[in-house]
Amino acid sequence: MGSNGEEKMHSFGLERVESDNSVLDDLEFLNVDDMVEIDVDNDTEEMIEDEDDSEASNENDAIVPEVDHSSFTFNLRKGPVYACTFHPNGEILAGGCEEETLYVWNCDDSRILLEEKFQDSVTIIKFNYDGKYLVAVDMAGNFLCWKYSNNVFTKMNSMNFNEPCWLEWHPKANVFMLAEKESFCMWRIPTFEVKYFALDSPSQVGCFMPDGKNALIGCDEGYAIILDLSSFTLKAKLKPQELDPAHSIVSLDAHPDNCLVALGTKKGRVLLFTTKNPKLVGMLEIPETDNGNYIESIKFGHECLAGLIIVAFSNYLHVYDHSKLVLRHAILLSGIGTRLVCIEPYICIGTTKAVVDVCDCRSGLKKHSLQGHTKTIMDIALSKDGKRIMTSSDDNSVKIFYLESSSHLSSKIFTFNGMSAVP
């Protein structure tokens, strides 16, 4: 851990920010009495599982698309683009690359706003909830944070973490949490005050609970914990009767009402736990395929799409009724699913076959396959207004797909050459 912030391990209050731009308690690191009730989608599994992804796909084989459905293509210099994200305003995009560089650009005029060299591949990039701050982390543990205002990014701080695995911003506060090899920490921005929690087992995945008051952290030993963010103490330990390290927790999600969580393991098991009186209430076994049955993504549906959506290392999207543990649909995908975003009632899934499959989880049908990439889709992001998705790929490009009338939109290509973008 870098020296910045290590001596600030005492309790502190946080500024209050509300969705209407007044204030929500930035957590005493969470003062629950003052918290605003919130319902948010937690996009939890953002880290790149490089070894598993490479085993699951022939990433050297380019696929020639029949048509390019994307509206914008940004070709970076070389190598895979591991991560991508939208600014909340939808106009600013960011991509993290194998070539040890973070790019941030304006989608409207293709202007590069930030190009930052790192020491290793950039695998984590995240804007906070209102887009005021951007953080990025490379595989060597180098962390950078910028403040954003009027198309200008100002570097605020740099640190180094010990094998960082994942990072998540709080949905309504200027606070992020990060798991490294043997510990979990939570940071307040812009003061960079910090709290630490020692982990008994490394963690590959975690998220803020929908109420914003607790954190759900998956562990490699096959269990998860719920951490109270106000007191920063252990609230619950969610574990099966027999722990099995072969069933490391690699994906997870929390139900919108906070009463239920789902944990996905790298050996095809999905565990369902209640949270108020922690108890294992269900277990699903996803069939193994030639590629294994690693649970890549798991998500509870919201609003009209009640159910549990599961993407494993297979060519299927599974939709379960989590209350009855009954399979509703098994939707055949174009390839192995890598990342997903939810636009109810649709699920958009990036695949190893370079397409984004759009599936209707009510009917159990695959509606569209968005083409344009030539290699595995590494990451996918949804704009705040739900009208566009962004994908990054092993083909060294980032693409934007409009979800409304995309077939009628012309395609524009911008190639990054140094600090400029050429239409």
Average pLDDT over residues 226-250: 92
Look at the chain and report how many structural domains it folds into.
1
Q: What does the pLDDT look like over 3-52, one tens digit per residue?
A: 443 333 222 222 223 333 322 345 444 433 332 222 223 333 343 344 44
Cβ-Cβ contacts under 8 Å for 69 (sequence gap 6 or more): 370, 371, 372, 401, 406, 407
Q: Residue 60: its pLDDT value, please? A: 55
pLDDT bracket for residue 103 (50, 70, 90): very high
Q: Which among 32-41, 75-84, 145-154 has the top mean pLDDT? A: 145-154
- Asked whether residue 5 is domain-assigned, the answer is no
In a domain, 337, yes or no: no
Specify if 99 maps to a domain: yes
Residue 154 lies in a domain: yes
Question: pLDDT digits over 271-313, tens only?
Answer: 999 998 999 999 999 988 888 889 999 999 876 567 899 999 9
> Is residue 340 within 8 Å of residue 377, measured between CB atoms?
no
Q: Residues near 253 by Cβ (< 8 Å), separated by ≥ 6?
A: 42, 44, 207, 261, 262, 298, 299, 300
Nearest of 39, 32, 35, 42 to residue 16 by alpha carbon: 35
Nearest-angstrom CA–CA distance, 73 and 207: 31
- % of the chain surpassing 70 pLDDT: 81
Specify the CATH number for the domain of residue 100.
2.130.10.10
115-120 long-range contacts (CB < 8 A, ≥24 apart) are 115/419, 116/144, 118/142, 118/144
Among candidate residues 405, 307, 288, the one with its CA nearest the CA of residue 347: 307
User: Which residues form the domain of 92?
Assistant: 73-160+377-403
- Report pLDDT for 234: 96
Sign of CA dihedral 326, 353, 404, 341: positive
Q: Span 251-270, mean pLDDT?
A: 95
Asked, for residue 66, whether it belongs to a domain, the answer is no
Asked if the structure places residue 21 within a domain, the reply is: no
Task: Give the tokens for residue 293.
Answer: 């049955």
How far is it, in rounded angstroms, from Cα 317 to Cα 333? Answer: 7
Tokens read off for 375: 């290699």
Identify whether 194 is part of a domain. Answer: no
Task: Please tell me the predicted confidence (pLDDT) of residue 128.
Answer: 98
pLDDT tens-place string over residues 305-361:
678 999 999 899 999 998 888 999 999 999 999 999 998 889 999 999 999 999 998
Tens digits of residue pLDDT in 374-414: 999 999 999 999 999 999 999 999 999 998 743 433 444 44
Question: Within a domain: residue 421?
Answer: no
